[in-house]
Structure 1
Amino acid sequence: MIKGRIHSIESMGLVDGPGIRVVVFFQGCELRCKYCHNPDTWAKVGGKEYTAEELVNKVERFKAYFDKSGGGITLSGGEPLRQPDFLIEVLKLCKEKGIRTCVDTAGYGFGKYDEILKYTDLVLFDVKDITKEGYKNVTQRDMDESLNFLEATKRNNTKMWIRHVVVPGMTDGEEHIKAFKEYIENIPNVEKVELLPYHLLGVNKYETLKIAYPLDGVPAMDKEVIEIYKNIINSKKTGNET
């Protein structure tokens, strides 16, 4: 019987997909994003083991709360694609029970993407950067696997919300945002774009884990500047609407 490692579960999530969500944070992630606020999810070990049935039964208890809002389950992390067989079993069971499914991912898994997406209603896709150099600077890893996942979403006609963390001196600036806008305009089925301002809320976790914080001294992103960037993203293309 397949078991998965789960870091934590949030029963009333409001920002990880439409409606009220049960957000399940998978344990394990290969990326080492400089701004990551959950370094405690990196390790493959840790967390609590569940079978797919145990996890979905736990989620189903909240169905009366999330169903009327158009909500459901969001499988996040860590990186849920790092446990593909377990993820597939969870998604299948959710679909059998009428639970809407969402996968929150950076696209850095082990394949089996077509099978995963067959049972996924929505993908929250975290675009780390739009160039190979920028991606490696942010994540310390190569971009290729993320692009493989993105191609799978195109093949499967999967609905997507795009997310992008805006970090001062790294993924900010009007020229970067304009290039990001062009990049996502070539991705089909994008229903929403979220610019997430870099914050300092996870810094204490690095201290607890005795890990050097990569962005020490970088200030939180100015939310007024984020609003300017959002206006750029929401502006119309020349002669067309975005």
Structure 2
Amino acid sequence: MTALLGRDTPARPGAGYPPGNGAATPAGVATRRPVNGSVHSWHLSFGKDGPGTRFTVLLAGCPLQCVYCLHPDTVRTRNGRRTSADEVLTEAARHRPLIETGGGLTVSGGEPLLQPVFAGELLHRFKHELGCHTVLGTSGFLGARAGDALLRDVDLVLLDIRSSHPEICRRVTGRHLGPTLTFARRLAGLGREVRVRFVLVPGLTDAEENITGAARFVASLGNVTGVDVLPCGRPGERGARPTGRGTPARHVRVPTEEQLGTARAIFAAEGLNTA
């Protein structure tokens, strides 16, 4: 259960975008130029964005066109504000007493790998300057944009695998399944810890064959420490608004507890820890 401590806090505007570090002053003294990105918001949560209490940064922009989106207001980059990594770190540092007791910092979205330089900067500084556990929440569709250096600064990847069938994935996201599976295999090869999130959508992702295929793929990776089978929300609820494509809202059904239990049992039968 997620406990938001107050409303999502909009990011404060940044100051332009001069990318890169290590610029020199006229006197020859090395300086660090700010790395900026488009940030939708940040908030504190518990039990949703990784273990413990977490400071979560939602980056703006996503290439997917999911029928029902967890954070539909983060899909467009223009819905974010240009923000420096320094500003985010300053805000995160204010919450260290809470997040250091078994929690940490999470970079999510939107799709954070749409802004790989900024996401990488945040993860690196979260880990090495604040010394906190780091989480990357991603669909994996843009996994090729994540360099190995970025992934070395990630303690846990929350990876959305929406389907095991390419056509179902296309119906749900408007995109191909292949890049996500390729990224999942890459994470396994690098030994990065992964927790998979599988959203159960009646009539779209709930077919036994689809769930079984996903479970077998996930179990084959060897680096997945758990699977969260999540219900889609009702249209109009926060985290359940339609994005203007696909299934009409009136046709969407929320899965029952029995359906969720059946899906979890399929993952568990493959030796996976489910929630």
Which residue identity does 1:77 align to in structure 2?
G
**Aligned pair in 2 of structure 1 residues 15, 189: CA closer, same or farther (>3 Å)?**
same
Q: Deviations over 1:71-130 (max 9, x none)?
A: 101111100011000111111111112011000100122613322211000000000211
Give 2:37's aligned residue: 4
Alignment of 1:42 with 2:75, yes or no, is: yes
Deviation at 1:13, TM superposition (A): 3.4
Q: What secondary structure, in the 3-state scheme, does the structure 2 residue paired with 1:116 have?
A: helix
Choose 185-194 or 149-158, whichever is displaced more: 149-158
Mapped pair 1:33 → 2:66: yes
* More deviation, 80-89/10-19: 10-19
How far, CA to CA, are the matches of 2:265 and 2:259 in structure 1?
10
Aligned to 2:95: 62
Please, what is the CA RMSD of the aligned residues?
2.3
- One-letter code aligned to 2:39: I
The whole-number CA distance in structure 1 between the counterparts of 2:61 and 2:131 is 27
Give the 3-state SS of the residue equivalent to 1:32 in structure 2. Answer: coil
Which of 177, 188, 201 is the equivalent residue of 1:154?
A: 188
Mapped contact 1:17–1:102 kept (Cα < 8 A): yes
Aligned to 1:84: 116
- The aligned length equals 236
Shift of 1:37: 3.5
Is contact 2:107-2:123 (8 Å) kept? no
Letter in 2 for 1:178: T
Preserved CA contact (<8 Å) 1:13 1:23? no
User: TM-score scaled by structure 2?
Assistant: 0.79
Structure 1: runs of 5+ lacking an equivalent: none
Q: Which of these residues, 73, 96, 103, is aligned with residue 105 of structure 2?
A: 73
- The Cα of 1:193 is off from its aligned counterpart by 0.6
1:214 to 2:247 alignment: yes
The answer as to whether partners of 1:27 and 1:47 remain within 8 angstroms in 2 is yes
The alpha-carbon distance between structure 1 residues 56 and 15, as it changes in their structure 2 partners (threshold 3 A), is same
Tell me the TM-score normalized by structure 1.
0.89
Q: In 2 relative to 1, CA 29–59 (structure 1 residues): closer, same or farther, beyond 3 Å?
A: same
Q: CA separation of 1:155/1:219 partners in 2, compared to 1, >3 Å: closer, same or farther?
A: same
**Structure 2, gaps ≥5 residues long:** 1-33
Deviations 1:177-215 (A, max 9, x none): 222211111112110111001111248855xx8x46734
Residue by residue over 1:16-73, the C-alpha shift from the partner in whole angstroms, topping out at 9 and shown as x without a partner, is: 11111111111000001112132211112222222112111211211111211x1101
* Equivalent residue number for residue 51 of structure 2: 18
Matched residue SS, 2:195: strand
Is 1:182 aligned with 2:182?
A: no
* TM-aligned CA deviation for residue 176 of structure 1: 2.6
Aligned equivalent of 2:199: 165
SS of structure 2 residue aligned to 1:161: strand
The question of 1:107 aligning with 2:155 is answered: no
Deviations 1:135-175 (A, max 9, x none): 21111112233234223312321001011101001110333
For the Cα contact (< 8 Å) 1:114–1:152, is it kept in 2?
no
